[in-house]
Amino acid sequence: MFYREAGDFKTSYASDNQTFPIKIDRRGYYVALAFAFCVVPFVINDYWANAIFLPFLIYSIAAIGLNILVGYCGQVSLGTGGFMAVGAYACYKLMTAFPEVNIFFHVILSGGITAFVCVLFGLPSLRIKGFYLAVATLAAQFFLVWLFNRVPWFYNYSASGQINAPERTVFSIPVTGPNTEAWATYLFCLVFLVLSALIARNMTRGMAGRKWMAIRDMDIAAEIIGVNPMKAKMTAFGASGFFIGISGALFFALYLGAVEVGEAFGINKSFLVLFMIIIGGLGSIFGSFAGAAFLVLLPVVLKVVGVDMLGWPTDIVAHLQLVIVGGLIVLFLILEPHGLAQLWRVTKQKLRLWPFPH
């Protein structure tokens, strides 16, 4: 009986259209934010940061970006890994060329550069869609990885072909390099995730989001009622590329520290982020968080249960992870195409009616 809208009166259009219409949802959101900002930094250590928190934060940003393109606009993309590489290499070039500029601005500029590249590779979407667009973005993935491997300028003519993040500070606190603290990198990524989620949520609820969804549902009908397909698709590619570029820059500078493009941003990375939004839920910001959390926590849980507790060989556990992810993708596509986000919505709806059956 506690999960109710009764007594929660709406006295303005803004309150009627807010993201969390039920008071307990709003309170839960604020409690989660307060816990993330005020509690986790004091208890986090290197293991928790590198195994769970940093991958979750960074992959959530990438999943939000891909969800805008695939879930909201209906444009299939298999080039996420390549676009993350653009963000990583753009951040590296900016960090080495302008060492006096704060890394916060380097990450944002990396997102802007990636958005421009993403729009360029999104131009074929004006003439093709579906499977053919997926192949075009897959070609972008292979081309970008080849480009960063073959052109020495991108890795500053390093003999190893790797890029290494130089040490940078925010308010005199190192956030990149070998001397970073776990709480500093965690807070830096958390700020970007919160800002990205707020921006994406407002974009998808506004005019741009309605245009994207109209193109996704039926592009011909959307054009008839006045939606410009070129503008809608290009803004979707640009917004998606911006968030994916930010995630790539954070993945390189704060998480890995050193990157070889073929290993860090290969085709597996593109499929990983795609699986996140399929399992989490297409067309849902919450689904991006849920899918990222699931695929980040799954290997950790399997290692603890399978290897540490049951004593299984590590190769069996690794293959079991692939089986579980593949099976869940098939099940979600058949039984619940909207993923974990829809299951959460159904659960909340049941709570709003409980204990009554209808």
Which pLDDT value is given to residue 224? 92
Assigned domain for 12 exists = no
Residue 10 lies in a domain: no
pLDDT at position 6 is 67
Q: What is the pLDDT of residue 333?
A: 85
Q: Are 115 and 242 in contact (CB under 8 A)?
A: yes
User: Which CATH number characterizes residue 212's domain?
Assistant: 1.10.3470
User: Domain for residue 169, yes or no?
Assistant: yes
Question: Is 240 a member of any domain?
Answer: yes
The verdict on residue 236 lying in a domain is yes
Give the residue numbers spanning the domain of 198: 21-353
Q: Is residue 13 part of a domain?
A: no
* 8 in any annotated domain: no
Q: Is position 358 within any domain? A: no
- Identify the bridge partners of residue 174 per DSSP, sorted by sequence position: 169
Query: For the chain, how many structural domains are there in total?
Result: 1
Return per-residue pLDDT of the chain as tens, 358 residues.
566 666 677 777 777 777 777 778 888 889 999 999 999 999 999 999 999 999 999 999 999 999 999 999 999 999 999 999 999 999 999 999 999 999 999 999 999 999 999 999 999 888 888 889 999 999 999 999 999 999 999 998 888 889 999 999 999 999 998 889 999 999 999 999 999 999 999 999 989 999 999 999 998 999 999 999 999 999 999 999 999 999 999 999 999 999 998 889 999 999 999 999 999 999 999 999 999 999 999 989 988 888 888 888 888 888 888 899 899 889 888 888 889 999 988 888 887 777 776 6
Q: Which pair of tokens denotes residue 331?
A: 């099940």
Prediction pTM value: 0.94
